[in-house]
Structure 1
Amino acid sequence: MPQRPTPAFLRVMTWVIGLCGIALLLGGGWLVAIGGSAYYVVASLFFLGTAYLLHRARPEALGVFAVLVIGTLIWALYEVGFDWWPLAARGDVVFVLGALLLLPWITRPLSRRSVADALDGRDRSVTPLKGHGAFLTASLLVAVAVAATSWFTDLHAKEGELPGTRLGAADNGIPEGEWLAYGRSQMGQRYSPLADITPANVASLKVAWQFETGDEPQPGDPEETTFQVTPLKIGERLYLCTPHQNVIALDATTGAEVWRYDPVIQGELALQHLTCRGLSYQSAAAAAAAGKQSGATTTPVAPATTGAPEGTATGLSAEGGLTAPQETAETPANTGGAPVDQTGGNTDPGLPVAVANARTTTCDDKLFMPTADGRIVILDPETGAVCSNAGGGDGQIDLWDRMPNVNPGSYYSTSPVIVAGNSVIVGGTVLDNVSTAEASGVIRAFDITTGDLLWNWDSGRPNDTQPIAEGQTYTPNSPNSWSIMSADENLGLVYVPLGNQPPDQWGANRSPEVEEYSSSIVALDIRTGQPRWHFQTVHHDLWDYDVPAQPSLVDLPIGGEIVPALVQPTKQGEIFVLDRRTGEPVMPVVEKPAPGGAVLPDRAAPTQPKSAISFDPPPLRERDMWGATMFDQLLCRIAFHALNYGGRFTPPSLDGSLIYPGNFGVFNWGSVAVDPARGVMFATPTYLAFTSRLVPRPNDRTLVVNPSQPQGALPALNENFGAPYAIELGPFTSALGLPCQQPPWGYVAGVDLTTGETAWMHRNGTTRDASPVPLPFRMGVPNLGGPMMTAGGVAFLSGTIDYYVRGYDVTTGEELWKARLPAGGQASPMTYRGADGRQYLLVVAGGHGSLGTKRGDSVIAYALPQGG
């Protein structure tokens, strides 16, 4: 009897399952050869067996595939338990193919009886409820039951409650409805005593007003152009800065623009980042008190030039003058990407002068704006005019003075400065991994009125803080402080989070001074700049584990006494709690063995510090690899074994190393929020693995990791000109661009700082804006941008990679409210009281270039309904 033609759908399924089997056999064989799981080889045999039986139109094909479904389920449960997303990656392809095999277009051809079957009475017909089809149906139903169980099982959640008020919050002299510094005060707590918004009413928050700054992307912007500002609220106004360095004053109650100032930034700049995290403020009362303490005169310094006539100040809105910036001559910048051979001292970068084309005034209160071309511009909060009684009459301070390797844009302060007495204390970001001839990471204090240099703390000469002479330069390429400092003026200390010396991943040539202070918190005397103490968070940092976040200062009841503490989050996930008077740990810190194996002549530190409060993730294993399907997960497993990995602090290598956590950081510049009345912390740990590979350099100028020279003056990142190796860095992702490590990748967590206990920890955020299909899967996503807490018991966060601002119950961590944002919210929210008596929540939605969130220019205020 002639064989009947095989139906088209059955032929397609035969080929699909057969090709899957071949792919699994090849990939699985490779994985076994390098020491990985044998599952994929075994699974390939079942795929191939099923394909063969389908080709023969045998109903036993469904039975063989049913065994594969059950076997896959058992293996998946063994590896990850009832954890839905890891289970899905292992079983989704198997389940979908199994379901397709039960369709009539498959079961009918498999049910045809041969002449032999008819003669002996055998019935080989199959349906989803009969024969081998019933076996396959049962296996799929078991898989559905396991999946359903996992949907209601959260293996990553920790439930508990934080304690209530135990201390009266310290009176720091700030009116309760104000926000006078980046972290509200220079204590860096990101906590407001306002209590109108509570867990009971937060769900009623609505948009009160929305303002667009008009700051749009421009040609020549670096990739990491970001709107990270946390505005100030002083009196009845908000003050903020934009990525392109405009300063804007808004009415805090209505959102109406009051004035705008454009500092007229120099032309092409060698920028790695373009951002402004915030402004700083000095009140007239604080300036007067500082003058009395120092015995200094308060007579205004005459400006060198008054610039434009009254009412025509550059960048002022209709309330203050012109809005169009004035043209200035561009100064050529280094465009070659190689080290700049300028180490001779006061090389003038041709900075614009703030008073030259702007309205000026004698300022009582003052705002301080760090600019991308290396200045601090000092403005009048009332009018936006430049202060003629500051900066020696120029209304600005030149940060390039006495700097080595002058290359405008390669150094500037992306973070707000510290104002203490009549001095302004400033650090700055230095280009990472571009060359070994960069600017200095020196920390300096300037007299606000005269602009004179008061002291300089240079980690290359750490005990010599007297101002260096004109014509001399600071130590090139020294560790810098790009993040936000804190200050305790009662103790007379400023707390500086320090980074690493570039190149970040190669440390063979570092000096003893650099080794001592890299990746440390340094307490400097506000008056003299002398180091009082320092605490190193990473020894011989080879991972770009800069201290990234503003220290939070809080008084804690520990051991029967109130301890003035400093809470320091780190990229590697530690929360160091130190006595801020001495730097001694308040919560225990131990040294743990760390992997060796650095490329010679470099070395790796044998131990690294670990705190009693730690969000250090467990080491990755092969079973922690993930993907959208079993195939990209298989490739991630192969990649995992191909990389050098011995746990946290695995050094970079020539073949490539897995760095976990990566330099994105468990914590970054957004820091944490602390409630001083409850002694608790709201944290937002993020977990992403990165890869790091050292690439030998043939000389000091050839590009080895960049395909071409970046446009204009932008630097060639990761080339490390002048070092023996460039560096290839990137997230550890699959062929589909998804993280190779399984979710969750982001959490919110509540910590009792008096005991060190993490009371609760929950997955946070969805994939709605980070996947091709906007599905809001609650997987727990990365966060960049800090939280804020209130006395009302609600915390707020907008930094997740989905575009939402969320409100949480501080006690339990429960998400109580969320609102959709028009762009990524990679900035820390703040809160204040308006002239109408309402408490407002303010969120900036502007996105983040290198994170890939949508760019925007929105400033959004939320409030409870009037009378609510």
Structure 2
Amino acid sequence: MVVIVITSVLFMLLGLALVGGGLWLIILGGSFFYLFAGAMFLITAVLLLLRRAAALWVHAALIIVALVWAIWEVGFDWWQLGPRGGLIILLGLWLLTPWIRRPLGFQSPTGTSYASSHWPLTIPVLIAIAVASFSMTTDPHDLHGNLPTEASGTTTFGGTVQDGEWHQYGRTPFGQRYSPLDQINVSNVKDLKEVWRYQTGDVKRPDDVGETTYQVTPLKVGDTLYLCTPHNWAIALDATTGKEKWKYDANSGMNPDRQHQTCRGVTYYHDTATAAGQSCVDRVYLPTSDARLIALDALDGKVCTSFADQGVLHLEQGMKYNPAGYYYSTSPPVAVAGKLIIGGAVNDNYSTQEQSGVIRAFDINSGALIWNWDSGNPDVTTPLPQGRTYTTNSPNSWSVFSVDDGLGMVYIPLGNQVPDQLGMNRSENVEKFSSSIVALDINTGQLKWVQQFVHHDLWDMDVPAQPVLFDMKKPDGTVVPALVGPTKQGDIYVLDRRTGEPIIPFKEIPAPSGAIPEDHTSPMQPISDLTFSPPPLQEKDMWGVTLLDQLACRIDFHRYKYEGRYTPPSLVGSIIYPGNFGTFNWGSVAVDPERQIMFGMPTYLAFTSRLVPASDIPPKGQDEKGSEQGLNRNDGAPYGVFMGPFLGPLKVPCQAPPWGYVAGVDLLTGKIAYKLKNGTVHDMTPLPLPFKVGVPGIGGPMLTKGEVAFLGAAVDNYLRAYDVTNGQQLWQARLPAGGQATPMTYTTSDNKQFVVIVAGGHGSVGTKAGDYVIGYALP
């Protein structure tokens, strides 16, 4: 009897929760099912207390209705069916136990007790289990296909980098992340083994900001790897053994106002003008989180004092406002034509009085300013005179640039003017250059062309990724210099890099209105014919581990403002999807110029954005640290903004999985060949479950002539290899920390090919922190 009472109370509590939440959902215009389910739980609870066998019939009816409703909403998608029916089926199985059925049975005239019949409930339970089992064999999300295998393109990789080297962030100035090595290939990559492991010693500290991340891609020059760490150490390793050669600590200190504590890479330069045997013939330039650029001797890590101010270039020069921690360089500058061309990250949504997003070119030997391109004053690129300052809060570029030395252009992905979510009082230049790619003349900094991908950006849709350059060879033999620009909203723009004009068409489509009274939205927004932008969210896309948190997400879906892509921020809160985490982010995509194909990792994670009147923002806390998530204060603006992923009560995404894929594109036709779920929940749950759900990630891929794609990035801690032709996974290695960095590959003097990745974790996505650099090779 005690078991019956406890079970009845459980059903009663679930019923009350579902009835209350279900009524709220109906008032908001949502589904009636949760109210129905709650009522059935309450009826079952009463019948259990009365010890009536009808309780089993009522629950059986609930199972049948829930099954029909779930299939009607989402078909045979296991990860969508599970939350809708899992709790109901588990409780059905509990009701079938002898402890429940016996008290609900009857006693014969002879005094013998009989349990109630199980068949009325067993049959619906078995049907539901059969449907669940069938749904596990289906895959409604994956797109299967094959990329072309013939080498119909060109062997133009950019620069003069030898096949076994990796001299720049994307290997060459073109940023292709493609290596012409094929020792490791689709037939033998399964045999890849870890051969060395190095720990930098730069570990996450208690006083670090949330987004302390290890995003570096090492460079390989000669017999040495060059890399940096989150706290701005530069390190040189032996490329064969992984042994440390030298280490330099920039002593960039700590500042709680930094939004990011990271370093994506260093810049290598060989000075042909300096005589052999002298110091600093080969240099490594290290960007720091306190806005410096430091020149180091690549041989021993000592500072090259002939550069700038005793080896240090101070990037805060020329800024009208210079609050500490608000401006720094997280990405390596490009070295071209005797110049270092560099941008800078400006904290999102901190203040209306922050540093400029100016792009500058400095003499690579002396550090003297050669030109500056300030989007607030774009026509004047001659060096800024003493006493003058750059435009405050102009759109900045925090990602990596690409260079075509032959065309004399540098290609720069631009972000937005802060505050990102407030578009009032933006200048004509800001409206022109925000969230775009600009091509500048390498020698003068003059604008060659601009192509914008978001108009009047209110969503932090920076162009986040290094543009990828390749020469597109068309079927008629014509070769077009092309640029591939991945965006946060999921569009892939393929442009003629000479002019910025589209190769793959894009068009303007209507966008939602409804900005706050002080602001406005653009009535039209561009979308590429090649896009990974997801369909608009619907209530049925809301997810949860159980029926209850799914209900909570459905309620939140209706409480927020949402009208599809580009729903403007609001005081009640808006759903931003794709979110400002991006479909694509700084990891960019990899392009094989010979096969004219692209490999990438589209990620889908909705965010929310709620404007907060300045009068309602509490004073800054003493221990408050910089972050892009949570409250962004926008000091000096009429509104702050509260941002973050759209999560349910259990802190899992409110939208249903998959959240992450790997995808292949034929760039010649502009068609997506495949799109396959990527990653497991191994490191997202308390138990190391191997379920391949398709998880979010941030990081970049790398391709090789061996027809293999390598990618870490996903929030489970693995480095994986894929057959780039069809996207099928061929190999994986468990990492000791999050692999939110882009892998690279090279050969050593004995012609042995290595694959290297940094595993150090990512604060924003919550992966395990570490300080590992790991090399893999064939036995």
Which interval holds the TM-score relative to the shorter structure? over 0.9
Pairs within 5 Å for 1:281-300? 281-285=268-272, 288=273
SS in 2 for 1:387: coil
Unmatched 5+ stretches in structure 2: none
| SS of alignment partner, residue 194 of structure 2 | strand
Contact 2:511 / 2:565 at 8 angstroms: preserved in 1?
yes
Task: Give the secondary-structure state (helix, strand or coil) at the position aligned to 2:79.
Answer: helix
> Which residue among 635, 656, 661 is the counterpart of 1:721?
635
Distance 1:237-1:634 versus aligned 2 partners, 3 A rule:
same
| Alpha-carbon distance change, 50 to 406 in structure 1, aligned in 2, over 3 angstroms | same
On the 8 A contact 1:422/1:449 being kept in 2, the answer is: yes
- Could you tell me which residue of structure 2 aligns to residue 293 of structure 1? none
Q: TM-score, normalised by structure 2?
A: 0.97
Residue 847 of structure 1, aligned match among 761, 765, 771 = 761
Q: Which amino acid aligns with 1:799?
A: A
Q: Which residue of 2 aligns with 1:139?
A: 124
| Aligned equivalent of 1:249 | 236
On the 8 A contact 1:433/1:717 being kept in 2, the answer is no
| CA distance in 2 between partners of 1:459 and 1:135 (Å) | 72
Measured against aligned partners, the alpha-carbon deviations of 1:728-784 in whole angstroms (never above 9, x if no partner) come to: 111111111111100000000000011111101100001111112221211100010
- 1:641 equivalent in structure 2: 558
Q: Distance in 1 between matches of 2:655 and 2:625?
A: 37
CA contact (8 A) 1:557 1:563 kept: yes
Write out aligned runs for 1:611-690 (5 A).
Answer: 611-690=528-607
Report if aligned partners of 2:230, 2:263 keep a CA contact under 8 Å in 1: yes
Give 1:407's aligned amino acid.
Answer: P
CA displacement, residues 184-238 of structure 1 (integer Å, 9 cap, x when unaligned): 0110111100001111111101001000000022353211111110000000000
TM-aligned CA distance change 1:817 to 1:100, over 3 Å = same
1:692 aligns with 2:609: yes
Report deviation, 1:676.
0.6
| Deviation of 1:489 (Å) | 0.6
Alignment of 1:280-679 (within 5 A): 280-285=267-272, 288=273, 362-391=279-308, 394-558=310-474, 560=476, 561-679=478-596
1-structure distance, mates of 2:537, 2:344:
35
Q: Which amino acid aligns with 2:660?
A: G
Q: For 1:492 and 1:453, how far apart are their aligned partners in 2?
A: 19
Return closer, same or farther for 1:645/1:435 CA change in 2, 3 Å cut-off: same
Q: Secondary structure at the match of 1:225?
A: coil
User: Residue 430 of structure 1 contacts residue 438 of structure 1 at CA under 8 Å; is this kept in 2?
Assistant: yes
In structure 2, do the counterparts of structure 1 residues 137 and 255 end up closer, same or farther at CA, with 3 Å as the change threshold? same
TM-score of the superposed pair, with normalisation by structure 1? 0.87
Cα distance in 1, alignment partners of residues 254 and 581 from structure 2: 30
Larger Rg: 1
Unaligned runs of 5+ in 1: 1-6, 289-297, 301-359
Q: What is the rounded CA distance, in whole Å, between the counterparts of 2:426 and 2:733 in structure 1?
A: 48
Alpha-carbon distance in 2 for matches of 1:142, 1:659: 38
Contact 2:211 2:627 in 1 (8 A): no
**Distance in 1 (alpha carbons) for counterparts of 2:324 and 2:269:** 28
Residue 94 of structure 2: aligned partner = 100
Match of 2:249 in 1: 262
Matched pairs, number: 775
Report the CA distance shift for 1:280/1:40 in structure 2 as closer, same or farther (over 3 A). same
CA distance in 1, matches of 2:206, 2:387: 36
Match of 1:49 in 2: 43
Indicate how the Cα distance of structure 1 residues 97 and 377 shifts in structure 2: closer, same or farther if over 3 A, else same: same
- Shift in CA distance, 696/49, structure 1 to aligned 2, threshold 3 Å: same
Query: SS at 1:64's partner residue?
Result: helix
CA contact (8 A) 1:362 1:389 kept: no
SS in structure 2 at match of 1:386: coil
Q: Deviations over 1:484-511 (max 9, x none)?
A: 1111010000001000001000011111
1:16-55 to 2 correspondences below 5 Å: 16-55=10-49
Shift of 1:835: 2.8
Structure 1 window deviating more from structure 2 (827-836 vs 153-162): it is: 827-836
| 8 Å contact kept, 2:209–2:625 | no
Distance 1:619 1:283 in 2: 50
* Aligned counterpart, 1:330: none
1:228 matched to 2:210? The reply is no
- Trace 1:679-758 onto structure 2 (pairs within 5 A): 679-698=596-615, 703-704=617-618, 708-710=621-623, 718-758=632-672
CA RMSD of aligned residues (A): 1.9
**What does the per-residue CA deviation read over 1:622-645, in whole Å, with 9 as the maximum and x for residues that have no partner?**
000000000110111011000000
Secondary structure of the residue aligned to 1:109 is coil
| 2:191 alignment counterpart | 204
2:698 aligns to what?
Answer: 784
Per-residue deviation, 1:114: 7.2
Native 8 Å contact 1:269 1:408 kept in 2 = no
| Offset, 1:389 | 3.8
**Aligned AA for 1:73?**
L
Assess if the C-alpha contact under 8 Å between 1:434 and 1:717 holds in 2: no
- Name the CA distance, whole Å, in 1 between partners of 2:113 and 2:321: 83
Whole-angstrom distance in 2 between the partners of 1:410 and 1:714: 11
Q: Deviations over 1:60-82 (max 9, x none)?
A: 21111111111100000000001
Aligned partners of 1:361 and 1:385 also within 8 Å? no
Deviates more, 1:49-58 or 1:739-748: 49-58
Q: Which amino acid aligns with 1:104?
A: P
Q: Which amino acid aligns with 2:41?
A: F
Of 127, 132, 155, 1:169 maps to 155
Cα distance change, pair 15–269 in 1 and its aligned pair in 2 (3 A): closer
When residues 211 and 400 of structure 1 are mapped into structure 2, their CA distance, relative to the original with a 3 A threshold, is same
* In 2, Cα distance between equivalents of 1:565 and 1:714: 36
Residue pair 2:679, 2:695 contacting (<8 A) in 1 also: yes
Query: What letter corresponds to residue 157 of structure 1 in structure 2?
Result: D
Secondary structure at the counterpart of residue 142 of structure 1: helix
Match in the other structure for 2:719: 805
- Check whether the contact 1:363–1:388 (CA below 8 A) recurs between aligned residues: no
Which stretch of structure 1 is more off in the superposition, 167-176 or 435-444? 167-176
Q: How many Å separate the matches in 1 of 2:157 and 2:208?
A: 42
Task: Measure how far apart 1:707 and its partner are.
Answer: 6.5
Check whether the contact 1:519–1:538 (CA below 8 A) recurs between aligned residues.
yes
The alpha-carbon deviation at position 14 of structure 1 amounts to 1.3
Name the amino acid aligned to 1:139: P
Matched residue SS, 2:73: helix
Given the alignment of the two structures, is residue 86 of structure 1 paired with residue 80 of structure 2, yes or no?
A: yes
**Which digits, 9 at most, give the CA deviation of each residue in 1:83-102, with x for residues without a partner?**
00110010011000000000
| Residues 389 and 723 of structure 1: CA distance in aligned 2, closer, same or farther (over 3 Å) | same
Contact 2:208 2:254 in 1 (8 A): no
CA distance in 1, matches of 2:292, 2:39: 67
- The secondary structure found in structure 2 opposite 1:157 is coil
Cα distance, 1:678–1:149 mapped onto 2, change above 3 Å: same
Worse-matched range after superposition: 614-623 or 553-562: 553-562
| 369-378 or 785-794, which deviates more | 369-378
Measured at CA, do residues 585 and 242 of structure 1 come closer, stay the same or move farther in structure 2, by a change above 3 Å?
same
Q: In structure 1, what is the Cα distance between the partners aligned to 2:209 and 2:36?
A: 49
1:780 corresponds to which letter in structure 2?
Answer: G
Shift of 1:267: 6.1
Distance 1:79 1:845 in 2: 40
Which residue of the partner structure matches residue 259 of structure 2? Answer: 272
Identical columns (%): 55
